Amino acid sequence: MAEDDARRLAGIEEALRRYYAVEAATVETDGLTVRRAMATARRRRRTVWAGIAAALVLVVVGVAVAPRLLPDRPVPATPGPAPSSASATPTPTLTGPARENWFAWRQAPDAPIDASDYRRAAAAHGVYFVGGEVSEVTGKEQCRLLPVRYVDLASDQWSELPIPEVPRGWCAADAVGHQDDLYLLVGKDVEDAVLAGAEVDLPTLQLWSYRAASGAWEQLSSPAAKTGWGNVVGLAGGFVRIGVVSDDDGNPLSAEYSWFDYATATWHEGRVSDQSPAVLRAADSFAYQDPIRVDGRSLVLFVDWTVGRPAGGAVTLTTWDPATNQRVRQTSHELSDEVMQNSQGNLEFADPGFVLVGSDSPANPSTKAMLVDLRDGTWSELEVPDRDGPISQRHPGAAAWATAYFPDDLAGHLVANGYLFNPVTQRWLWVPEPGASPPDSELESGDASVEIAPSLRCDWGHPPLPCWRLDVDPVESIAGEFSAAEIAENNRR
């Protein structure tokens, strides 16, 4: 059976290559003109500068509005039926942005990095960027660690860290931030240590930490270097790497882990206690990147999707605590074709342990999503607003940006079809989307920029990169509210 699966995957890969080759050969460069591109670029530049002038005027005449708090609602123990209008508490109704210019882009200090060469590690008050490059030294390609950069998100100021006394490459580096510190894994590790066409000479895997308070690097104990490892998953108490041992045909045989405990600065390694097929498949497909908090516990979530015939499918969610190497919960649910198709594999997480399987984007609307409470493994169907209905006409919200921008204020909210839903309070909110592009010609399209943080966006190219900061009014003064009853009415149309 496993051989059949592997053979079928290889057949699909071959079929894709043939299909793409045939399809691509039908395309010529009809209508593409370089002169038109150059002329378009010049026109855009003029248009955007006019836009800046208009924006500046708006900022000058804008009037600040006193923020309102998100009103609290009674909290049921578990999600229940949506409150009727009669049972609604007499809290103020949120009605959307209190003023027209509720957001503004302003220029921030240039970024000294080529972000495409760097990996990021979010810390408490900023973001570390760790990268490297391959260079040819005496006829041999080698990896070299680039200066580690840090941006303080309070001031948007960039700084350069002292570099550890080890030349290591990004091709085998990974980084995780914890509080204000940085943990950096460098050195030879997996098959990925050898870049295509490059013979990279690296020492075995090492762990370094950078302590922000002292400004010093320290080498810590090293984990075992094994093949088949995925990315580092940072949790509250430490970080974990998960790898898979496969047979000669590439079928997963076992999942292994290395857990670094911040408190003891030690590694714990071994086989993942849960070797269920769902966990093996998730580990093999790197579908465990998402840390999740369930009742305050920071856990790894393995996600295993199965596709039904001819439609629908199922998803199996497994929470696992690497600190104790114990499975916490495993739960599966069959999904309708609508949920399966519209979720596009999207999962949303919210405290204190909710997962929504459904679309997060207005571009991929649905009327149904599945909600699972990982505290007890219960599943329920959630009716979400059809984007073709009157709710969308009144409130064209696109809230996915807001949960990242306001992580604390919106910690309990999930994004569904572009709207915010709090499973505990059963409350729906809409939040408008700020203009996606800073008003600058370098970033005008927003298509080739890099999100350094939800509030900071930079151009993509050779440093120094022009950067812009997004300032937004408090969420309580820009969010609007609608009821589950409105959703039902909306979806009946």
Partner 1 sequence: MEADVEVPVAGTDADFERFVAENAVALHRFAYLIAGDREDARDAVQDALAGAYPRWSRMVGDPGAYLRRSIVNAHVSRWRRHRRETPVAQVSETVEPGAPADRVLDAMVVGDLARDLPYRQRVALVLRYYEDRSFAEIGAVLGCSEGSARSIVHRALLDLRGRTGGRDG
- Give residues 144-203 in contact with partner 1 (rule: CB under 8 A): 171, 192, 195-196
User: CA 481 to CA 483: how far, in whole Å?
Assistant: 7
Tokens encoding 1: 């059976």
Q: Does 37 help bind partner 1 (rule: CB under 8 A)?
A: yes
Q: Which parts of 449-468 interact with partner 1 (CB under 8 A)?
A: 450, 459-462
**Tokens 């670029």 appear where?**
41
Query: How far is the C-alpha of 383 from the C-alpha of 489, rounded, in Å?
Result: 11
Strand partners, 94: none
Nearest C-alpha neighbor of 126 from the set 87, 80, 180 = 180
State how far the alpha carbon of 347 is from the alpha carbons of 194, 301, 304, in Å. 33, 11, 12
Q: Which residue has the tokens 């999707």?
A: 305
> What is the number of H-type helices and E-type strands within the chain?
7, 29
- The distance of closest approach from Cβ of residue 280 to partner 1 in the complex, given in angstroms and rounded to an integer, is 12
CA distance 428 to 422: 7
Query: Does 334 participate in binding partner 1 (rule CB under 8 A)?
Result: no
Q: Please, which residue, 174 or 481, has the CB nearer to partner 1?
A: 174
Q: What is the DSSP string of 232-247?
A: EEE-SSEEEEEEEEE-
Q: Is 308 or 390 the residue whose CB approaches partner 1 more closely?
A: 308
390, containing H or E segment = helix 390-394
Q: Which of 147, 264, 445, 488 binds partner 1 (CB under 8 A)?
A: 445
Least spacing, CB of residue 207 vs partner 1, in Å:
18
| Closest separation in Å from C-beta 218 to partner 1 | 25
Position 251 contacts partner 1 (CB under 8 A): no
Q: Which of 23, 100, 136, 408 binds partner 1 (CB under 8 A)?
A: 23
Coil, strand, or helix at residue 254?
strand
CA–CA dist 432, 445 (Å, integer): 19
Shortest reach from residue 31's CB to partner 1, in Å: 5
Return the number of the residue (462 or 492) whose C-beta is nearest partner 1: 462
Rank residues 82 and 314 by Cβ distance to partner 1 and give the closer one: 314
- With CB under 8 A as the contact rule, the residue among 3, 5, 218, 471 that binds partner 1 is 5
Pick the binder of partner 1 from 83, 131, 132, 230 (CB under 8 A).
Answer: 230
Q: Which is nearer to partner 1, 251 or 455 (CB)?
A: 251
Closest C-alpha to 288, from 333, 250, 355, 243: 243
**Interface with partner 1 includes 440 (CB under 8 A)?**
no
Residues 335-364 interacting with partner 1 (rule: CB under 8 A): 344-345, 361-363
Q: How would DSSP label each residue in 444-459?
A: TTSTTEEEEETTEEEE
Residue choice 19, 84, 99, 201 for contact with partner 1 (CB under 8 A):
19
Which of residues 74, 76, 162, 308 is near partner 1 by CB under 8 A? Answer: 308
| Closer by beta carbon to partner 1, 312 or else 377 | 312
The DSSP secondary structure of 137-160, one letter per residue, reads ETTEEEEEEPPPEEEETTTTEEEE
What is the Cα–Cα distance from 160 to 215, expressed in whole angstroms?
Answer: 11
Nearest C-alpha neighbor of 426 from the set 357, 491, 339, 486: 486
Among 286, 390, 393, 471, binds partner 1 (CB under 8 A): 286
Phi, psi of 216 (to 5 degrees): -125, 150
Q: Candidates 15, 69, 253, 404: give the one binding partner 1 (CB under 8 A).
A: 15
Tokens of 461: 């190219």
Least CB distance from residue 231 to partner 1, whole Å? 4
Please choose, out of 22-30, 121-129, 200-208, 482-490, the segment that lies near partner 1 by the rule CB under 8 A: 22-30
Question: Residue 295 CA to chain centroid, in angstroms?
Answer: 21
Tokens encoding 123:
């810390």
Binding mask 368-407 for partner 1 (x = CB under 8 A): -------------------x--------------------
Distances (CA, A) of 478 to 68, 95, 428, 432: 10, 8, 14, 7
> Quick check: 447 binds partner 1 (CB under 8 A)?
yes
Is residue 32 close enough to count as binding partner 1 by CB under 8 A?
yes
Min dist. Cβ of residue 82 to partner 1 (A): 26
Choices 29-37, 64-72, 78-86, 321-329 (CB under 8 A): range interacting with partner 1: 29-37
Shortest Å distance, C-beta 386 to partner 1: 12
Contact status: 473 vs partner 1 (CB under 8 A): no
List the one residue from 251, 273, 276, 306 that touches partner 1 (CB under 8 A).
Answer: 306
Exposed (0-12), middle (13-18) or buried (19+): which is 104, by Cβ within 10 Å? buried
Q: List, in order, residues 6 or more apart from 232 with CB less than 8 Å away.
A: 174, 175, 176, 185, 239, 240, 241
When binding is defined by CB under 8 A, the residue of 97, 203, 313, 454 that contacts partner 1 is: 313
Q: Which residue of 46, 68, 140, 271 would you call a contact of partner 1, by CB under 8 A?
A: 46
Closer residue to partner 1 in complex, CB, 420/465:
465
- Report in angstroms the alpha-carbon separations of 153 from 104, 123, 128: 17, 10, 11
Which of residues 85, 87, 116, 214 is near partner 1 by CB under 8 A?
Answer: 116
How many chain residues touch partner 1 (CB under 8 A)?
Answer: 84
